[in-house]
Chain A
Amino acid sequence: MNSNIVIGIIAVILCALPFIGVETYSLHLIIVILIWAFAYTGWSIMGRFGLVSLGHGAFMSIGGYVTALLWNNIGLSPWIGIPVSLLVSGLLAIVIGYPCFRYKIVGHYFALVTLALSEVVRQVIIATRDTTGGSLGYTPERHGEGISIVALQFSNDRIYFYYVALFVWMAGIMIWRYVDQSMSRYALEAISEDEDASAAVGVQVTREKLKVTVLSAVMTTFAGAMYCQYQMFISPDTIGGVGVSLQIVFAVVVGGIYNALGPTVGAVITIMLAEVLRISIGTASVCVSKDVCFNAAGVPLLIYGILLIVFIIFLPKGIVGGVADWWKSRSADPPDAAGSTQLEPAKAKTG
């Protein structure tokens, strides 16, 4: 109940955002955050059940590249191209997932298989550079000037895309909550603990895992397609490869893997942080003394890495999970006099 109200308030604020004088750059950042937040939410739908995929960069790049290649080469509108890309990645998820789940490749081994998937897809894009532009990246062709509904191109008018991204992000949160409240969630929690015992009470282990994997892959693919349509430029390293796959995992870990809004908070923090570091440090040199200077290009990554380690050690449930726990323990630990009244919110929270 509580979280519904919070989400409602956030939704109203977000809808009104373009009209309360948010400047273009901020709006751009928010759109990027929403797109990535949707991808992260998609990842956490399976990640929270111990299905740690390091292959979601592959699905993301399929979304971008399949959509853009179909548009540029055979003029297929993204209205069809995006569903095709979703289908392709859904099938890929089955091809990779089925043997893994059937033969009980779990935990670290599953992570390694998916890690390979990231790299394979990235290498395929680079190897077919005549078609995909390789590591130099790829640009969907402009469909005339201004806004094109057919090509899902919104020119530089960010308001339209903002609402698209907002809608998609909200749909992502709703999907997350839908899964969270379904029986599949219990099955997947059980599977993550003990596959044999789950099968013994009738759970179709392989099927349940495949279902959630395909859902997660398709969501991430959709994020990739959105990213492509928004940025109008994709490259194997910006929406694919191991880098992006790890970025997804780290952001979700930072935000909180067990909460609907955790991945979004992760997206806000990691993207803002990356942006602040990029602007404040950029490619400047840091001089220790008059003669000893370093190129600081790697510093943002270094800070990023240190923060992640700190988070994993001290806030394993992420920011949202950590705050929720702290709130619960604070409310459940009443100062002597106001004991009973203090307990109420704690109960409402858990219910």
Chain B
Amino acid sequence: MLAVQGLTKKFGGFTAVDNVDFSVEKGEIVGLIGPNGSGKSTIFNMLSGNLPPNAGSIKLQGREIAGLAPNVICGIGVGRTFQIPRPFKRLSILENAALAGFYGHGGSGISKSQAWRNAEEALSLVGLPTDAKASVDTLGAAGLKKLELAKALATKPNLLLADESLGGLDHSEMDQAAEMLGSIRNELGITIIWVEHIMGVLMKVVDRVMVLDHGEKISEGKPHEVAADKKVIEVYLGTDAEETAAAAVRA
């Protein structure tokens, strides 16, 4: 599905992502984790087209997408959420999703009514109201995260890039959100790359985990393998490491 090779991004003299290779199979949920500044968001932004890479290739179903514009990548079938939700406040919740439902297909002839159907589908999938007037202002932190997800889903992606979906949520909301990503994969068959700072819940849902540190991939494998990896524990010192181990045990 996705094959990334030699991906590199430099900001001036600082190498944020250094020669990273990975691949994602169709229908997988892959977790991309790492401490702050490890380069996971940079990789994410290169996948979504928000940053052009300095070197390397990103192939989606055999097609090179590195350096394409975000809207083109969206049209090819890659949906993304933003770490801090970025709803369009001048539009209603339904209009937010309908916009994505209309434009998210590479501009190919989608009718307005089809766009609205896509929007309603996506909203009910994440459990948001589909009445036309409901305002974005009525949503709390969890609701806004759901709207982010609904916008991405309304574009009918094959690959979903979920950026730190759990930040700012309480424990039960976290569990819900993780379950939701799981069911999106199971029911819609959408491949998911899940970038997350908080490891605990992620470990329960993903098939595979990649760990980044200082722009390099330091570990990759099944959640319990990665959690037992010495290098990973070193990176995630303290409570995070315990949490990781505990999560691995539960998994």
Q: Measuring CB to CB, which residues of chain A are less than 8 angstroms from any residue of chain B? A: 183, 186-187, 189-190, 192-194, 196-205, 350
A186-B95, A186-B99, A204-B107 in contact; A199/B112 too (CB < 8 A)? no
A196 x B103 contact (CB < 8 A): no
Closest 10 interchain pairs by CB? A201-B100, A202-B104, A197-B86, A202-B103, A202-B74, A199-B70, A190-B88, A199-B71, A203-B103, A186-B99
Q: Which residues in chain B, 181-210, are within 8 Å of chain A measured between CB atoms?
A: none
Report the interface size for chain B: residues with CB under 8 A from the other chain. 33
- How near does chain A come to B190, taking the closest CB pair, in angstroms? 16
Residues 90-132 of chain B: 1 if any A CB is under 8 Å from the residue's CB, otherwise 0?
A: 1100011011101111110000100100000000000000000
Complex-state Cα separation, A269 to B88, whole angstroms: 34
What is the bound-complex CA distance between A205 and B50, given in angstroms? 13
Nearest Cβ distance between residue A4 and chain B, in whole angstroms? Answer: 19
Is B99 a contact partner of A183 (Cβ separation < 8 A)? yes
**Does B88 contact A193, Cβ atoms closer than 8 Å?**
yes
In the complex, what distance in Å separates the CA atom of A183 from the CA atom of B100?
Answer: 11
In the complex, residue of chain A having the shortest beta-carbon distance to the beta carbon of B102: A183
Asked if B70 and A200 sit within 8 Å, CB to CB, the answer is yes
Q: In whole angstroms, what is the CA distance A189 to B136 when docked? A: 14
Which residues does chain B contribute within 8 Å of A200, judged by CB atoms?
48, 50, 70-71, 74, 80, 82, 151
Given A193-B89, A194-B86, A194-B88: A201 touches B99 (CB 8 Å cut-off): yes
- The residues of A that contact B71 with a CB separation of less than 8 Å are 199-200, 202-205
A202 close to B100 (CB less than 8 A): yes
Taking the closest CB of chain A, its distance from the CB of B248, in whole angstroms, is: 33
Which residue of A has the minimal Cβ distance to B80? A200
Prevailing SS type, chain A contact patch: helix
Q: How far is the CA of A177 from the CA of B174 in the complex (A)?
A: 44
20 residue pairs of the A-B complex, CB under 8 angstroms, read A183-B102, A186-B91, A186-B95, A189-B91, A190-B91, A190-B99, A193-B90, A196-B50, A198-B88, A198-B99, A199-B70, A199-B71, A201-B154, A202-B71, A202-B100, A202-B104, A202-B105, A202-B155, A205-B71, A350-B133
| Inter-chain contact A197/B107, CB cutoff 8 Å | no
Whether A203 lies near B99 (C-beta < 8 A) is yes
Residue of chain A at shortest CB distance from B151: A201
Q: Is B69 interfacial (CB 8 A cutoff)?
A: yes
For the complex formed, measure the closest distance between the CB of A119 and the CB atoms of chain B, giving whole angstroms. Answer: 32
Cβ of A179 to closest chain B Cβ, rounded Å? 14
Q: Which of B1-60 contact A (CB under 8 A)?
A: 48-50
- If A189-B90, A199-B74, A202-B75 are given as contacts, then 20 extra A-B residue pairs at C-beta distance below 8 Å, sorted by A number, are A183-B99, A186-B102, A189-B91, A190-B91, A190-B96, A190-B99, A193-B89, A197-B86, A198-B88, A198-B99, A199-B70, A200-B50, A200-B70, A200-B82, A201-B152, A202-B74, A202-B103, A202-B106, A203-B71, A204-B71
In the bound complex, do residue B98 and residue A186 qualify as a contact, i.e. CB atoms below 8 Å apart?
yes
* Chain B contacts for A205, CB-based, 8 A: 71
A67 to B96, CA, bound (A): 43
